Amino acid sequence: MKVAALTPKQRAAWWALQNHVMVICDGAVRSGKSWGADHAFVDFAMHGPPGNLLLAGKTQDTVRRNIIDPMIDIFGGAVCRHNRGTREFYIDGRRVYVVGANDERSQERIRGVTLVGAYVDEASTVPESFWTMLRSRLSSEGARMIATTNPDSPQHWLKRRWLDKADELDIARFSFRLEDNAANLPASFVEGIKREFAGLWRKRFIEGLWVAAEGAVYDMLDLDTHVVDELPNIGTWWLLIDYGTATVTHALLAGIGADERLYVAREWRWDAHETHRQLTDAEYSQRLRDWIETGADGVWLLNGKPAPVPVRMAIIDPSAASFYAQLRRDGWVRPRDGENDVLDGIRYTASLLSAGRLRIHRSCQHLLRELSGYVWDPKAQERGTDAPLKADDHGCDALRYGCYTLRRHTRRWIASTAKEAA
């Protein structure tokens, strides 16, 4: 056991597991929560009372990525062994059940089992029903549970019903900040990770605060900074599309500039309510094709000169199955389902804006209007969840699909922004 590698707070969380029924480590990303929890749980598995053990998280893949693989790296294959085929995990020869908990039915996977130890990764992402069931399964003598989590809404069930009642529930709570682990991280990485999160997520994931999502979703949007009148040379283009049959279909033409920024160059929008006409999938496809081939004003002008726009791919609303099929049949562009994790997509779009790596042409007036009025839903916040208000958001959705789906092309920009600023 690499005790010497632990910070004082990590060491305290480890020892607390020996004296408390539950230990919860919450706080900033890369603050050392999981490192300390990994050591604590492996030690418990090797020296604790006999009985069944369990690792849990949002999915089995996230458990493997966030807990199992790091444990193998830390302690080696002689102590921690994972059979990827059967998904069985062993600590010092002791079998550990691995469970994903991504919906309300997840509690059924542990119903009836008796546990002596459990480790929950990203606890705020599992359903409350699963957490409650898991707690009831820890009925063996000397049973212990440890969990890690990033902060969420202050109305989240984990905060209100467990962390805020830590003293009366025999919970040892340790709140981690990025500074708690700064000695183990390169200064350039710390600066880079701070730039990767903006707005709400900066407060939660960097400052470690359980704060409400309120006000503007993109509170870092600056029309003087993020809006441009000219576009750089762009070699690769994508269509970003939010599709609506009886409502609004909003398409954005986006490309990567030579200056390593993502540019939204033009927009196309069809509002079935305003026009009093609903287009068919074939009509949408044809009109978008005509728009791309001729340009909004008859010809595309980049830097004042006519320029071809070879669209590489259309990233579309993943629920638009019929339109996806239509684009495939027509063959003029290759469709791809956009990644539709709403909060992660918003967070990544906010990161690009904050890092100065996303620019929007002034002609995209509908998108700019929507972004300026894009706000968090206060009723969702009262329920302890985060969600943007679903009103006049078609361009926002199209932009989110594109930014998040294209992140493999743009993620390195955020880190390079930190290096440039250093």
pLDDT at 285 exceeding the cut of 70: yes
Average pLDDT, the chain: 90
Do residue 148 and residue 17 come from a single domain? yes
Mean pLDDT within 142-170: 95
pLDDT for residue 104? 93
Q: Tell me, yes or no, whether 210 lies in a domain.
A: no
What is the Cα–Cα distance from 35 to 40, expressed in whole angstroms? 9
Do residue 119 and residue 232 come from a single domain? no
pLDDT, tens only, 241-278: 999 988 999 999 999 998 999 999 999 999 988 888 89
Q: Tell me, yes or no, whether 214 lies in a domain.
A: no
Do residue 260 and residue 167 come from a single domain? no
pLDDT for residue 420? 44
Mean pLDDT within 189-214: 86
Do residue 267 and residue 384 come from a single domain? yes
What is the Cα–Cα distance from 269 to 267, expressed in whole angstroms? 7
pLDDT for residue 179? 87
- Confidence band (pLDDT; 50, 70, 90) for 224? very high
pLDDT at 422 exceeding the cut of 70: no
Give the number of domains in the chain: 2
DSSP H/E element including 91: strand 88-91
CATH of the domain at 311: 3.30.420.280
Taking CA atoms, 347 is separated from 3, 199, 200, in Å, by: 35, 9, 9
Q: Tell me, yes or no, whether 164 lies in a domain.
A: yes
Q: Tell me, yes or no, whether 7 lies in a domain.
A: yes
Q: Tell me, yes or no, whether 56 lies in a domain.
A: yes
Do residue 178 and residue 69 come from a single domain? yes
Give the sign of the dihedral formed by CA 128, CA 131, CA 133, CA 136.
Answer: negative
Give the sign of the dihedral formed by CA 366, CA 371, CA 376, CA 380.
Answer: positive
Q: What domain range includes position 113?
A: 3-184
Q: Tell me, yes or no, whether 218 lies in a domain.
A: no
pLDDT for residue 88? 83
Do residue 19 and residue 156 come from a single domain? yes
- Looking at 184, 213, 233, the residue that finishes a domain is 184
- Confidence band (pLDDT; 50, 70, 90) for 1? very low
Do residue 136 and residue 284 come from a single domain? no
pTM here is 0.77
What is the Cα–Cα distance from 360 to 270, expressed in whole angstroms? 20
Mean pLDDT within 25-49: 95
Range in 42-56, 236-250, 300-314 the model is least confident about: 300-314
Range in 135-139, 143-147, 243-247 the model is least confident about: 243-247
Q: Tell me, yes or no, whether 196 lies in a domain.
A: no
Q: Which residues pair with 119 in a beta bridge?
A: 55, 146
pLDDT at 416 exceeding the cut of 60: no
Residue 202 DSSP symbol: I
pLDDT, tens only, 104-122: 999 999 999 999 999 999 9
Do residue 144 and residue 274 come from a single domain? no
- Confidence band (pLDDT; 50, 70, 90) for 69? very high
pLDDT at 295 exceeding the cut of 70: no
- Looking at 184, 212, 235, the residue that finishes a domain is 184
Do residue 411 and residue 270 come from a single domain? yes
Do residue 41 and residue 118 come from a single domain? yes
Phi, psi of 270 (to 5 degrees): -130, 120
Percent of the chain with pLDDT over 70: 93
Do residue 47 and residue 146 come from a single domain? yes
Q: Tell me, yes or no, whether 74 lies in a domain.
A: yes
CATH of the domain at 45: 3.40.50.300
Do residue 230 and residue 115 come from a single domain? no
- Looking at 159, 184, 209, the residue that finishes a domain is 184
pLDDT, tens only, 373-385: 999 999 988 888 8
Q: In what order do the strands lie in the sheet with 234-242?
A: 227-228, 358-361, 262-271, 248-257, 234-242, 311-316, 335-337
